[in-house]
Chains A and B, each alone.
Chain A
Amino acid sequence: MVKKIKNLKEFSLSNDRFEGANLMCPGCAHNIIVREVLNATDDPVIVATATGCLEVCTAVYPKTSWDVSWIHIGFENAAVAAATVSAAYEVAKRKGKLPPATQKLVEEGKEPKIVAFGGDGGTYDIGFQSLSGAFERGHNFMYVCLDNEVYANTGGQRSSSTPIGASTSTSPAGSVSYGEKMMKKSMVEIMADHGAPYVAQVSPSKWKDLVKKVQKGFEVYGPVYINAQSACTTEWKHAPEDTIEVSDLGVDSCVWPLYEIINERDEHGIIYSTKLNITYRPKKKIPVEEYLAAQPRFRHLFKPENRHIIDLWQKAVDARWEYLQRREEAGV
């Protein structure tokens, strides 16, 4: 059932199923995103989490921050964990073997929502095979990538999500290096190309947009991928109180465009329509430089010898924004 949400005040007072008293860094966007995702529904939620910041900070025996059924197995298998819990749910439902309380909720129209959370390490890199397999098989679950563009849990090593020029502990800026050399991997399109019914990119700072997309994802049957921008105070090195501001800079510079891709299928499962919708258009598109300047991980780019990387950034962001708009216009 779709939850009605009137305003931020009401939303923020929703019954929390993810306890804020955990070990995450102050200002960590993971906390905000997880709360927004879980609060998007009043239906039961079952969560699988990949090894990473979220997992190590929220389930340290004998305590747990989770008031939902929750599982962590390893770093690279959150997608298959959630997918198989979903399959187990369907088998138990079909065989009439659901626990009585769950059966009652299902009869009231409250189907459990099964959600996996992984960082970009567990999603773009080591967990990619498991994620791809689970999406190809079409299981009914949502995968949320908490994308902080770095292996934050292990001390800030680069990932395939780390953007060009970022200084990380394995792609440090130095006297002969401007930091990370590769552009970021395009996970949203990659996951959409699996034929998933719904794929979207979100930012915690645009909470209404995020919640709406999560609710859309919960309403479709099949694998749903949500790529969430997750500002990391520790590795992006901004002040904890600036998390939302940095997130907004990402969105308003179009470094982190907010959009969705909807694959519609006919009764035979054949995709007859793919639509990309841009869900947020900055009133004034700010220069990428302002986004980079807010994060000390990019500080070295402002040296004269590295300025060309800022120019490259702007070109890449402009080209991508142009590409998204063209796709939206063309309805593909």
Chain B
Amino acid sequence: MAKKYELNEVEVWDGNMAAAHALRQANIDIVAAYPITPSTPIVQNYSKFLADGYVDGEFIMVESEHSAMSGCVAASAAGVRAATATSSQGFALMVEVLYQASGMRLPIVLTVVNRALAAPLNVNGDHSDMYLGRDAGWINLCSYNPQEAYDLTLMAFRIGEDLNVRLPVMVHQDGFICSHTAQNVRPLQDEEAAEFVGEYKAVNTMLDVANPVTHGVQTEEDWHFEHKARQHNDLMNSVKVIKEVFAEFKDRTGREYDLVYTYKMDDADVAIFALGTTVESAQIAADQMREQGIKAGVVSLRVLRPFPFDEVAKALGNVKAVAAMDRSAPGGTFGMLFNEISAALLARGKSPVILNYIYGLGGRDTTITMLKEVYEELDKCAKAGEAVVPLQQFLGLRGPKLSFY
């Protein structure tokens, strides 16, 4: 039995420590991990918990992220709870196995501390890794601060392991601004957390040698399509379980989560749509804009996958202009948020001005002043009833302005 870790009602944790404690409290049987900045402290903290007797599972320090995720897949298929953490290049190295994890319907939890992808090599935060894995068939939960990183990591186990879901879950937090910034976190006590997460429910376990199972089969044109369709169907329908788990968590802690996060959107004319720590900066910017008489709001995704299509359309349904803020190099098109928000709005008969801002790449600071400039441009568009600035701009870029369309 693992020792109980005495926790204060309020702890001062950075995002990595918050995630590490959530992993510790989830009583994971196998953590297979490889350290990478900025998620390294999750792995280090977990190692220290193990060394001090607070973890009774196994920690396997594998030789690469590819093996980390492969180990999680094997452990999960064997019939035990498995989780890991990574960032950036490590995430990229895992990508092959991310698809195998979801295709094999294994409820692994992956905490992703978001960081830029090389080249050029960069250790700082942006959402390139999150965007790289968005089509991998995982449930993707997004946090903006250490408290949420903690809460969502605990909830990830409940969601993924639900017998109606059985899919792997990623929990995202921003590299450094969240992962390395200490804030107040209200944790559950160990026994409360264990009760909330529950015992692991093994399905088709390889360790049940009297009932052999075959995991990871070959399917060609005769069955592959049906498998992938079923997987998509169950990912889409996981919304129900996600909502149930959010509701139960609220009952226990009072902390409320929904598929889409909104701030002052009831009467907003203009909105910033962003992910990660920028959501909190944008709220301050919105408040300051409101002092100037501009009805500004903020929208974000709590659940990136399955994408809350109708909730996004509803949240933005009454705005005159919205800025889709993409913190990942778009690689020759508009950013992912711009495309997905546009699709949701268009399909639901809404047509606000939609602008795309590429920002914060490689950890470039995004200030309140910059976000207020975005609101000001949105306000101009809202008043004009059309885009009076380029549709895609690079925010905070040095040198001449870069824009398209």
Give residues in A with beta carbon < 8 Å to B: 44-46, 48, 55-56, 59-62, 64, 66-74, 76-77, 80-85, 87-92, 94-95, 97-99, 101-102, 105, 112, 129-130, 132-134, 136-137
Contact = CB atoms under 8 A, between A and B. Distances in A.
Nearest first, the 7 closest Cβ-Cβ pairs linking A and B are: A133-B63, A101-B210, A44-B209, A77-B70, A72-B216, A88-B78, A69-B206
A196 to B, nearest CB: 16
A56 B218 contact: yes
A71 B74 contact: yes
Contacts of B213: 69-70
Contact of B75 (A72, A85, A102): A85
B58 A73 contact: no
B78 A84 contact: yes
A88 B218 contact: no
A91 B62 contact: no
B90 to A, nearest CB: 14
Contacts of B214: 59, 64, 66, 70-71
A60 B224 CA distance: 11
Interface residues of B, number: 47
B311 interface: no
B64 interface: yes
Contacts, number: 169
Contacts of A60: 217-220
A95 B56 contact: yes
Given A60-B220, A64-B217, 10 more contacts: A45-B209, A48-B74, A59-B218, A74-B96, A87-B71, A88-B29, A88-B58, A88-B74, A88-B82, A89-B78
A330 B246 CA distance: 68
A157 B240 CA distance: 49
Contact of A99 (B66, B74, B96, B205): B205
B30 A137 contact: no
B79 A92 contact: yes
B32 A69 contact: no
Contacts of B80: 88, 91-92, 97
19 contacts: A44-B209, A64-B214, A64-B217, A68-B212, A69-B209, A70-B212, A71-B214, A73-B70, A81-B73, A84-B70, A84-B78, A88-B75, A88-B82, A88-B207, A95-B56, A101-B209, A101-B210, A105-B209, A129-B66
B63 A132 contact: yes
